[in-house]
Amino acid sequence: MPVKSRPGFQTNVDRTSKGVARGTVYLDIKPDQTLNLRFTPTSNEDGDVFFESAQHFKFRHENEKRAFACLRVHGNEETGTECPICEALEAAEQTMSKKDFKKFADLHKQSLRWHAQVIPVYPEDAPKADQTFIIGLSQTTAQKVSKILKNERDMRQPLLTDPDEGQIIQISRTGSGFNTEYDVLPLGVRVGLDALLPTWESKFLNTEKALKLRVEDRATLLEAMEETFGAALFQELGIA
């Protein structure tokens, strides 16, 4: 007797992993990866190519993994601009051993990132990007991009963010851990955004909004700190 066929199709793992990966707006540079990027015009009102974020990572709140925006940088009228997490780190530096403090700070200290909107330029035979992305760079890497911009202005060349005449910037990641380095190379190849991604204007993101920073009030941060650090350490740090 033939086996009765069951409903549904065979699972395609590759297809699934591609599907769930889609939809993210963040573009990461993986170890030993080289990316060719076209920077779009900025969505920041002040004209800064980069939106600077300051976040505290590795927290838990109501049993969920959380990162919180540092209120010293992102606080508003509602939340105030005093950050209890920064205060806890300052208190910990006074009370913990050097070794313990380093561990604590590596996990939770304010982490700064410089974010810009880019469209990756893939090789001729690869599919083209169908959206714009947000890339988060370290200060050193962002400074390298900023230096190229300054040179372009000084040499009266189109800026790398120019929608029509901007040049491709190549960023390569090498090394690992503390020896990770990012090289930033202006390729001198000019490509219009319209040619690269004809729908770029409708796909254009607001960098700050796309980051979805979690700006929470002091009470919420204190709850998360107690849950993450444990009651004993939280008490010991004396932040209220």
* Chain residues that interact with Zn ion, rule: CB under 5 A: 70, 83, 85-86, 110
| Comparison of 111 and 131: residue with beta carbon closer to Zn ion | 111
CA atoms of 187 and 37, how far apart (whole Å): 10
Q: Which residues 6+ apart lie within 8 Å of 148 measured at CB?
A: 160, 169, 184, 186
CA atoms of 218 and 84, how far apart (whole Å): 7
| Comparison of 19 and 238: residue with beta carbon closer to Zn ion | 238
Question: Nearest Cα to 174, choosing from 69, 30, 37?
Answer: 30
Q: At what angle do helices 84-95 and 98-108 cross, to 10 degrees?
A: 160
At closest approach, how far in Å is the CB of 160 from Zn ion? 32
At closest approach, how far in Å is the CB of 94 from Zn ion? 17
| Comparison of 86 and 137: residue with beta carbon closer to Zn ion | 86
Residue with tokens 């060349």: 157
At closest approach, how far in Å is the CB of 101 from Zn ion? 16
| Comparison of 76 and 151: residue with beta carbon closer to Zn ion | 76
CA atoms of 229 and 223, how far apart (whole Å): 10
At closest approach, how far in Å is the CB of 233 from Zn ion? 17
Structure tokens at 94: 């006074």
At closest approach, how far in Å is the CB of 210 from Zn ion? 21
| Comparison of 83 and 197: residue with beta carbon closer to Zn ion | 83
CA atoms of 42 and 24, how far apart (whole Å): 19
